[in-house]
Amino acid sequence: MQQIADRIFLFTSVMQQLNTVVIIDDEYIILIDPGFFPQEITEIQTFIRPWETPTRQRFMVITHSHFDHIAGVSYFPGYQLIVSEKWDRANEQRSRARLERFDGEFYVDRPWHGLLSPILSNHTVRDGQKIGPLLFFATPGHTQDSLSILYQDVLIVGDYLSILEFPFINHATNDYETTLRLFLKIVADYPVRLLVSQHGHHAQTLAEIKQRVVVSQEYIRSVRRDVQNTIDQHLSAEYLTNKAASFEYLGGMISVGLVEAHRRNVLRIWSEYHEADPRTQNTAEINYINQPLQNT
Ligand SMILES: [Zn+2]
């Protein structure tokens, strides 16, 4: 556990360096994406227990419906659950199935058998809505139901702007780019000092936050360029996906574990180009894209 600001604590899982944000102030206890492994969750429960007084309201926010983010929900029954009004029930269902497969494959013991129960939220929030000390932003692109949260001068952005990974575009590239521009507007409009991405180390300066936005924008531009060039040369999507392993990002090759995620991004952008021009649509590629996603 590390304290990153007054009243704000981060618990980082060994699972994809997933960050759980814990906010404890005079009136509220707020958990954001509580996860992932049971022992890690016990550590969070133990930490917050002394602060769970009757006068503090308890909230839990889930930034989006991927399996690593929802795994801890049922461990905190007294907490009011907040999700986006765009919550993706179908994606949640895939995530619950994926969690069950993961737990079965790696023998993770949890206090239930089979599938995690469906997520029952107490509040669904829209863009610009406030609950207690939290201000919510709709930030689609990674998923349609991605939420970002501002608490005082700390912006929490779910799976965006991670130093560990390039953009994982599971919803729509245009929305993803709009969200990246929104982050720049938020840091211009509000006195944001820290940015927490849900995977990996947080950003501690405004310059670093902006740099992360630029890096994500450049990644998308670069994939778009590759797709456009491939189309111009009348080559296939397969030609491009075959080159995925040698794609360069931040001055080096992408890690072997992320090649598949990059390949999916390529195919998504490819299919988005062809959706704009149905004469060239290749349904086999679109079907591949619409398979249950393994990204987080
Ligand atoms: Zn995710």
CATH architecture of 2-203: 4-Layer Sandwich (3.60)
- The pLDDT score that the predictor gives to residue 290 is 47
Task: Tell me the CA–centroid distance for residue 8 and ligand 1, in Å.
Answer: 22
* DSSP secondary structure of 47-76: HHGGG--TTSEEEEE-SSS-HHHHTTGGG-
Task: Tell me the CA–centroid distance for residue 168 and ligand 1, in Å.
Answer: 8
Task: Tell me the CA–centroid distance for residue 274 and ligand 1, in Å.
Answer: 25
Adjacent-strand bridge partners of 151? 134, 154
Query: Residue 264: CA atoms inside 13 Å, Cβ hemisphere, count?
Result: 23
Using an 8 Å Cβ cutoff, are 174 and 191 in contact? no
Task: Tell me the CA–centroid distance for residue 291 and ligand 1, in Å.
Answer: 16
What kind and span of H or E run contains 135?
strand 134-138
DSSP single-letter state for residue 168: -
Task: Tell me the CA–centroid distance for residue 219 and ligand 1, in Å.
Answer: 18
pLDDT by residue, tens only, the chain of 296 residues:
999 999 999 999 999 999 999 999 999 999 999 999 999 999 999 999 999 999 999 999 999 999 999 999 999 999 999 999 999 999 999 999 999 999 999 999 999 999 999 999 999 999 999 999 999 999 999 999 999 999 999 999 999 999 999 999 999 999 999 999 999 999 999 999 999 999 999 999 999 999 999 999 999 999 999 999 999 999 988 888 898 888 888 888 888 999 999 999 999 999 998 887 655 555 444 445 545 445 56
Query: 154-156 and 147-151: which strand pairing?
Result: antiparallel
Between CA 92 and CA 87 the distance in angstroms is 8
Q: Where are the domains of the chain?
A: 2-203, 219-289
- The pLDDT score that the predictor gives to residue 284 is 46
- The pLDDT score that the predictor gives to residue 250 is 85
User: Coil, strand, or helix at residue 209?
Assistant: helix
Q: Which residues contact 77 (CB under 8 A, 6 or more apart)?
A: none
The model carries a pTM of 0.92
Kindly report the length of the chain: 296
Task: Tell me the CA–centroid distance for residue 282 and ligand 1, in Å.
Answer: 27
Task: Tell me the CA–centroid distance for residue 159 and ligand 1, in Å.
Answer: 5
